[in-house]
Amino acid sequence: MKRSTTGAAAGVLMMGWWALVTLMLSVGVALPTSGEEGRWTESDFTRKAKAIRPFEVVASSDPARALTVIGAPRLYYPKKGDTFLDIARFYGLGYNELEMANPGVDPWVPAEDKAIVLPTEFVLPQAPYEGIVVNIPEMRLYYFRKGKTEQVAYTWPVGLGRDEWRTPQAKFRVRGKTVNPVWNIPESIRKERIAEKGFSETMIPGGSPDNPLGKYRIELTLPLYGIHGTNIPWGVGMQVSHGCVRLYPEDMEELFPMIPIGTLGQFVYQPVLIGARKGRIYAQVVPDIYRLTPGLYREAERIVQSLGWSNLVDPMRLRQAVEEQRGIAIDVTKRPAENDLHPTLEDGPEDTWRRAG
């Protein structure tokens, strides 16, 4: 595997990198995937996927008992040739999450040995901790199931529907699972492909490198929507699909055997997330990508009130988390814990966050 995007970086920056990347992915053009240094390989990403572990979760209105914040933030010091695409993929993040957490950092040429934040800590959505939950604006999938003695959660980043092909809010069940699925192209998408690329196929065989479904697909009771891998991994953390949920290939390979047919699930839309751990209250806020939640601070206040935690939350800290929208779990508890090393937005990360290996 070659290093990612180094050959295209200068042109991308000149033309508006985000718009160009999104266009390339949405029309099925693969991004360049590496340089001659060979720092990242597909085996690196596969090894990363196998290290994914479950987190214990506890749903409770008592913040001393609740465990609705999982993971921990980390730091990473970029090396020569690193891009946000590779770093995000290796550390189980979507491109969007790494970009939000590190405003002002060049995603194609991050400064070497200057710490960037890995936002590998997540506030769980307000939903039953059962089966599959995809939080659309967060672009993240959670899978909840019973562990040996407790409820546990797994989580992976995803790519979702473009603005004109929005992933819907809905409940569903898993109705089937397919290895090397054939892509029978819906007529509406086929017309788009003809207009944009001149491609007129009605189907793409399973196992084809041109098949956007990847190697594994989970079929849902929602018509036209599914959860699947991808032939273009860099679309994870971006709005590039026609509404389906895309995972990194190695993540889909891990998720696929876990999910029994009949599993319950839902797509939720929650740009504001409020949770608790060890009596501390955390807020995680992401952009309202489909513009469905006007007044994010009002929404944050509503959630805090519904949980009965208003007297515990510092309104200024909560407002700052909403204004920043960095996708980082921020401690918004009214009085910081004594000797608390968990970072707030004001803290410099290098002295407070754990360095990634």
- Tell me the range of 1-5, 27-31, 161-165, 313-317 where mean pLDDT is highest: 313-317
Q: Which long-range contacts (CB under 8 A, 24 or more apart) does 170-173 make?
A: 170/222, 170/225, 170/266, 170/267, 171/264, 171/265, 171/266, 172/220, 172/221, 172/222, 172/225, 172/264, 172/265, 172/266, 172/267, 173/220, 173/221, 173/262, 173/263, 173/264, 173/265
- At 49 the pLDDT is 65
Band of residue 338 on the pLDDT scale cut at 50, 70, 90: low
Separation between Cα atoms, residue 120 and residue 271, nearest integer Å: 17
Residue 194 in any domain: the answer is yes
* Eight-state DSSP code of residue 208: -
Q: Are 97 and 237 in contact (CB under 8 A)?
A: yes
Share of the chain above pLDDT 70, in %: 79
Closest CA to 177 of 235, 258, 109: 258
Q: Are 305 and 314 in contact (CB under 8 A)?
A: no
Q: Is 163 helix (H, G, I), strand (E, B) or coil?
A: helix
- In tens, the pLDDT along 186-198 reads 666 676 766 677 7
Separation between Cα atoms, residue 305 and residue 288, nearest integer Å: 21
Residue 247 in any domain: the answer is yes
- At 224 the pLDDT is 85
273 by Cβ neighbours in 10 Å (0-12 / 13-18 / 19+) ranks as: buried
DSSP assignment of 299-354? HHHHHHHHHT-GGGB-HHHHHHHHHH-----EE-BSSPPTT--S--TTS-GGGTSE
* Distances from the Cα of 355 to the Cα of 72, 116, 151, angstroms: 11, 10, 28
Is residue 87 predicted with pLDDT exceeding 50? yes
Mean pLDDT of the chain: 84
Residue 13 in any domain: the answer is no
More confident residue, 147 or 266: 266
- At 175 the pLDDT is 97
Closest CA to 1 of 108, 89, 105: 89
Q: Are 226 and 220 in contact (CB under 8 A)?
A: yes
- In tens, the pLDDT along 97-139 reads 999 999 999 999 999 979 999 999 999 999 999 999 999 999 9
Length of the chain: 357
Strand order in the sheet with 116-118: 116-118, 74-76, 354-355
Q: What number of other Cβ atoms are within 10 A of residue 77's Cβ?
A: 15
- At 243 the pLDDT is 83
Separation between Cα atoms, residue 174 and residue 324, nearest integer Å: 36
Residue 146 in any domain: the answer is yes
- At 50 the pLDDT is 65
- In tens, the pLDDT along 201-214 reads 777 788 888 888 99
Residue 230 in any domain: the answer is yes
Closest CA to 247 of 127, 139, 346, 337: 139
More confident residue, 333 or 345: 333
Share of the chain above pLDDT 90, in %: 63
Domain residues for the domain of 139 are 131-268
Residue 222 in any domain: the answer is yes
Separation between Cα atoms, residue 357 and residue 336, nearest integer Å: 29
CATH of the domain at 236: 2.40.440.10
Band of residue 83 on the pLDDT scale cut at 50, 70, 90: very high
Residue 175 in any domain: the answer is yes
Look up the pTM and report it. 0.83
* Eight-state DSSP code of residue 21: H
Is residue 287 predicted with pLDDT exceeding 90? yes
Residue 160 in any domain: the answer is yes
Band of residue 36 on the pLDDT scale cut at 50, 70, 90: very low
Question: How many structural domains does the chain have?
Answer: 1
Catalytic residue annotation = 228, 244
